[in-house]
Each structure stands twice: as C-alpha cells, then as structure tokens.
Amino acid sequence: MQPKYQCAYLRVSVIAASILACMPGTALAARVDYTVDLGMEWNDNVTLAPSDPIDQRYLRSGLGFLVTETNSAVQAHADGRIEYRDYEDDIFTDTVDGTLSGSLNWIAIPQRLFFLVEDNLSVQPVDALVPDAPGNRQQVNVFSAGPTLLFNWSPTLQGQAEIRYVNSDAEVTDEFNSQRLALALRTIKEFSPTSRASLNVQAQRVDFEDDVVARDYNRYDIFGRYSRTLAQFELGTDLGYSRIDYRQGESRSDPLFRFDATWNPSERHHLTVLASSQFSDTAVDALSSIEADATMPENVLTGDAIVNASPYEVRSLEMEYGFTNIRFDFMVAPYVQKRNYVDSDEFDQDNHGVRTDFHWRLRRTLTLGLYGTYESLDYTQLDRQDDTLRVGATLRYHWAPRWSAGLEWERYKRDSTAAGQSVSQNLVYLSISYSNR
C-alpha cells in the first residue's frame, strides 16, 4: 500500500476513535453497527479500456460501520466503509479505498456554547475527464472544527457567532490543499413555534498551499433566511448576495438564492424540491454533504468532483420522490445543473440526470435491490458530451441471524464524443457478510 493511502486510513481510524473518545463515559455508551464482507469479484474490463479489455477475478473485502450517540451533552455520528482489493497479475497494486462522513457536536455550556467538529473523507477522480479506473482515484479529505456562541436577547430573539477552521487535502491534486478561516454572525427571530427568520453575515479567508497554481481569496455572504415547519410540510428560503475578492485585486459577485421544501402527505410518501443559485467549491460541497441521518454505506463509490482550487457558480434544481412500505421502498430523483468555474472555464458544464433506488423484501430472509443512475454531461468549453449509465441489482439471503450471502451485479457504460473515452464494464461480486445486529 502506498504511504499516502496508509495516512488516509490512519486518519479514518483516528477520527472515528476521537468521536468515541469525546463521548461521556466510555465508548460503549455509543451505538456501533458494522458489517464485514468477504468475497470474489469478477470484472470484464478492470482497466476501463475503450478496446482490448482485461478480464479479471480478484479478492475483495470490506468493512462498513455506523456510530451514533445522542445525549444532553453530545450529538455524534460517523458512517463509513473501507474496501480492499487484491488484484491478480500485478495489473494494479493492491488497493485500499474508503469513505468517512461524521460530525461531533459537544454542548460545552447549555444554550450558550457548543463546539462542532465535521469531517468528510471521500474517493474522487484525479482526472474527471478519464474513466474511473483504479489508477485514477485519490483520497480527498475536508475537516472543519470550531465553536458557536449563542446569545439569547429575548425568548423570541437569538444571536449566534461562529468560528470555523477548515483544512482541505487531496492525495494527488496538491492545488486543492488549503487552510481556511470562516466567521459568521446570525440573528434569528421566531415569529411562532412553526416559523422563523434570520439575517446571516459570513466571511471566509482561503489560503492555498500552492500559490503558483491556486489563487488565495476572501469570500463574503449576506443573506436572509425564512423557514416554516408544519406537520406535513417544511419550507426554507435564502436570499442574499455573495462576493469573492482575490488578493491580487480581481473580484466577482452574484446574487445568492436557495430554496428547499419537503412534503410528507403520509408516512409512506415524501416529496422534496431543492433549488439554488450560489457560489460554491469542492471543499464546501464536501462539508455540506454530511448528513446526521445517514445509513451505513454498502459500497465505496468514486465521486464526480472536479478537485481543484477554483470556486464556481452553480445553478441547480433537484426533486426527489420516495415511497416506503412494509415490504418495499422506492426513490427517484431527477436533477438539472449548470456550473461555471471562476478561475478557468475548462470544466464549465451543463448536466442533467436521474437517480433511482428500489428494495423489495421477497421473503423474510431474502431481499432484492435495484438501482440506476443516468447523467448527460456537456462540457460547454471543450465541445464534449459524456452520457453515463450505471445500473445494478443485489440479492441478499440471510441464512442465520447475523450471517448473509450476497450476489451483486453492476453495468457501467459511458458514451463520449471525445476520442477513446467511450467505455463499458460489468461487475459481479459474490460475498459472505457478518453484521453485529
């Protein structure tokens, strides 16, 4: 294993252990769920070559985990997965890939001071324009920590002051590596138990380690937010202004708009709509993707982030419909997005697609899963379009209370207008798993 991979996975263990160590009492106070699997995977194009594919079977093992703790002083969660692949014929060195998403909120003084730690470790491409082969992957980590001070001016009027230190690090793409200091002041007014409004002022100083390729900048945001929460409906809207000032004198500004709404007409159905027009970057996206109610990951997937130093303007619209029943659940999420990079227009893109997921409990001991994603990605400045399809199926048989056998199949296909970038791949994974619950 390469030294940087060893460091990345040491980081996974250290962060997970730190979350447990910070909890009151002992680590046994937290709920720890995990699944260990071991099996054989078959890949008909292990290098994702456009021609002359290499067919190979290799050993694959994984560990998925979910750690949660909630009490009056600490709210913490961490979910992640580590996978090891032992390739034949030394076509690739043996690889270890992993993901981790977690947060720890320590209430130091109730209703006055709390301390928040967040971390996101993911697998991203080194070059997003070429296929997702094992040689085109890197670990990307974004860490954030800092205090929040609360002011209670009246029963319906509160204030917040936040300070966050943020560190971003990529295994290969050094221009992404940065240190950040973020400050925020918020005033929150409650109109009723179901509605509130706030005024938010934020500032962020971004210092990149590689000053030759990356440009240091300051970002400023001011926006108002209104939110309303009812029994079956939730609504939130942000409206304001953002500005990016480069230390070299150049600046860029744009309106800020965000909208989110969720409708739950019954316990079985939910519909969510998200819309935004704002500045963002890869590090900000990584932290915003951390979810407190996440489930244990079943696979380590390579993301689709452009790992560089440039902020970008993003406009997006996404919908998600979900249905849950005793025996099956279903989700479908279409989306459209436009992304324009501030520093370089090479990766400017228009894309749209859809994600879907389905689970059906055929019998008490047998579960069928189906999933699929489709994306059409148009690189507007490169005159290139990539259409990517990923579909798969899983069949899992629980032959003992904590033991199960699984069969997974996946089909990946990318059609590209760029020469030599159209590829396809089929995977089959046969495994045995042990879960502690």
For residues 300 and 292, what is the distance between their CA atoms, to the nearest angstrom? 19
Q: Is the dihedral of CA 70, 73, 74, 75 positive or negative?
A: positive
Going residue by residue through the chain, which has 437 residues, state the pLDDT in tens, using 9 for 90 and above. Answer: 444 444 444 454 445 444 444 444 444 478 999 999 999 999 999 889 998 898 999 999 999 999 999 888 999 999 999 999 998 877 778 889 999 999 999 999 998 999 999 999 999 999 989 888 888 899 999 999 999 999 999 999 999 999 999 999 999 999 999 999 999 999 999 999 999 999 999 999 999 998 888 999 999 999 999 999 999 999 999 999 999 999 888 899 999 999 999 999 998 999 999 999 999 999 999 999 998 888 899 889 888 899 999 999 999 999 999 999 989 999 999 999 999 999 888 899 999 999 999 999 999 999 999 999 999 999 999 999 999 999 999 999 999 999 999 999 999 999 999 998 999 999 999 999 999 98
Which range marks the domain in which residue 418 is found? 3-435
Percent of the chain with pLDDT over 70: 94
**pLDDT for position 5:** 42
For residues 33 and 19, what is the distance between their CA atoms, to the nearest angstrom? 15
Residue with tokens 């040491």: 10
pTM for the full predicted model: 0.89
H/E stretch holding 18 = helix 3-21
For residues 15 and 21, what is the distance between their CA atoms, to the nearest angstrom? 10
Burial class (CB in 10 A: 0-12, 13-18, 19+), 8: buried
Q: Domain tally for the chain? A: 1
Tell how strand 328-341 and strand 31-43 pair up: unpaired
Give residue 122's Cα distance to chain centre. 7
In CATH, what number is assigned to the domain containing residue 67? 2.40.170
Give residue 353's Cα distance to chain centre. 17
For residues 382 and 345, what is the distance between their CA atoms, to the nearest angstrom? 9
